Amino acid sequence: MNPLFLALAPIFIILIYIYIRDKYEKEPWELLLKTLLAGAFITLPIVLMETFLSGLFGDLTELKLAAYNAFVVAGFTEELFKFLVIYLFIRKNRNFNEPFDGIVYSVFVSLGFAAVENILYVSNYGIDTGCMRAVTAVPAHAIFGVIMGFYFGKSLHSKRPKYLYLALFMPILFHGIYDFILMSQHYLFLLLIIPFLIYLWKNAFKKISYLSNKSVFKP
């Protein structure tokens, strides 16, 4: 199997699914492509910031270090840059005019980043890693995008700032939990990964179904 195809196939399958679920007014492909590329371009500042943060607390105990790397180094850094792309460049765009658009753009920026990350992992660690990530890490990034986009969508027709805070906080929380389970390498935590992934999937589909049926969100 071609490694590049393996790395990108799950990305495009999820993107097509999210695009199809946008019922009322399809987003322009030019803006979607720019959003996807923005997600790819933020890989560099993310790597630089993660490298810097990783070197700050090297003397922590094993579980504390896993928690720090999961919630701060990975979760906070990656979700912050995704959030900034949507908040600074997409949220005020005239095409962002329906609640479900938040999910569309957030998933596109998330999977732009995930595409670069996946190519690097498959190139360095091979086909087996690519197959595993196709059903774990790539959908996880998409789900974090759904969570972020859900609250961005709620913020569209609401003056409540809490939705913007939640658009950043909730993806960091779930991203951190996901990474901590894996980084801890503790068998008791690793037993939780399948139930947690099932919960993430169900939660994401629930949010997708909820907003895809709304052209206007009323708090």
In the predicted structure, residue 200 carries a pLDDT above the cut 80: yes
> What pLDDT is recorded for position 9?
95
Hey, what are 60's tokens? 């922590």
Q: How far apart are CA 115 and CA 117, in angstroms?
A: 5
**Model's pTM, two decimal places?**
0.94
pLDDT for the residue numbered 215: 61
Contact assessment for residue 198 and residue 191, using Cβ atoms and an 8 Å cutoff:
no
Mean pLDDT of the chain: 93
Mean pLDDT for the stretch of residues 186-202: 89
Inform me whether the pLDDT recorded for 195 exceeds 60: yes
* Model pLDDT for residues 53-101, shown as the tens digit of each residue: 998 887 788 899 999 999 999 999 999 999 999 999 999 999 999 999 9
